[in-house]
Amino acid sequence: MARNLGAIHFGYLGILQSDYLIFCALADFGTATLILAFFGQRASRGRLLAQVFQLRFLLAFAAMLLMCLFAFTIRRHHPAFYGELILAIGLIFQHAFFDWYFLCGKFWKRFLTSKILHTISYTCIMSFALLYLQIQRIEYIALAMVLAALPAWGFGVRSAFSIRIFRFTKRSLSFVKLILNKAFPFALASLASFAYLPIGLYAADIFAPPDFLGAYNFSHKLIVLASGFMVYFISSTLISQHESRESQLHIREIILFTLFITLVCSPLLLFPKFILHLFFFAVSWTDSLLDTSAYCLQLLTLSLIFQAARMSMISSLLKERQIWTYVAIVSGCGILNIAILFGILSQSDHYRFIPLLTLSGDICITLFLFGLFLRKKRFLW
């Protein structure tokens, strides 16, 4: 994609993908987590299955309408406009739309088949579009993405779809209202996460020249990928904490884990140009583009280290079901991050500080969590 589009339009594609992820979060609205936690296997059969499908389809359709409205009001004159409209349709046909059904029902073979099918479909369709047709427009790439998701989506429909989904009753609407109320804090926490790393991408789109946005997007892609892997550490930490009744956190373990993540991330800090060349091997790099992207990558890598430092504290809040405390901290620090980033940039033209200013949210949430756990005397050496 980066090779076909070039650095500038690849930056615009990054904006499109970030918008799409936000509306994916709205389409989910924390309900997948809630259904897995509250209903488990019961959600994969009977009347409850139909009600959950009704909920998921209503949310997806509402998110699609909101994304279309967003495109016409906010992105009307943006290079990603037509891509926004195409990916809005893709909210209905997400390949992962049926993941909750396979997980709740413990249909592991079907789940694996769905993922393999999507991998093959995505590889074939995107390879044909990018390498053979060599498409060089954002909207055509967005269309290829939607088409690539259809086989896995169709497999989910064949596995789980039922005519009962279209039978809406008063009880169905009550179920939707109940789940949305319960899922609200999870949805808020999910949406608040976009006030951290992705907000730098939006700031670059507004305040920086297009070439800086393109350079920033290269580094942003790698850090978001690495942040996704960090989720697995949070899950494993949460599981291990559930197995222990100890409520205290050990400073020594936090330091060791943070040093471990720092060591793992050291190539991003020490050899950013090599890493960029390695991952984006098909791109024709210029010295200016590579220098700017390497500078952004070094600064944004610090976000991973801050995430490692606060991981055990976040896991503790989730283990103890202090959901609203967690939501308040994440949302409050996210709002502060936006205020600092846009406040400073609106008063000056120092757009090269965007990666550094983007870290203000990470610094804030990490310090706040340490202060909270210190005040509660939850730390031991």
Instruction: Name the phi and psi angles at 250, rounded to 5.
Output: -105, 120
CA distances from 21 to 39, 185, 323 (A): 26, 18, 22
What confidence category does residue 91 fall into, taking pLDDT thresholds of 50, 70 and 90? very high
User: How many C-alpha atoms does 178 have within 13 Å on its Cβ side?
Assistant: 10
Query: Quick check: 232 and 379 in contact, CB under 8 A?
Result: no
Give the whole-number percent of the chain exceeding pLDDT 90: 49
Alpha-carbon gap, residue 354 to 348, rounded angstroms: 12
Closest to 200 in 3D by CA, of 333, 331, 349, 14: 14
Domain boundaries, the chain: 2-181, 196-380
DSSP-derived secondary structure for 275-289: HHHHHTTTS---HHH
* Confidence grade of residue 246 (pLDDT, cut at 50, 70, 90): low
What pTM value is reported for the model? 0.88
pLDDT digits (tens, 9 = 90+) for 319-331: 777 888 888 888 9
pLDDT of residue 105: 78
Mean pLDDT for the chain? 87
Write the CA distances from 212 to 9, 207, 223, 255, 355, integer angstroms. Answer: 11, 10, 17, 35, 11
Tens digits of per-residue pLDDT, 5-25?
999 999 999 999 999 999 999
Q: 360 vs 241, which has greater pLDDT?
A: 360
Percent of the chain past pLDDT 70, that is, above it, reads 95
**Contact of 304 with 162, CB cutoff 8 Å:** no
Which pLDDT tens digit goes with each residue over 143-191? Answer: 999 999 999 999 988 887 777 777 777 887 888 888 888 888 888 888 8
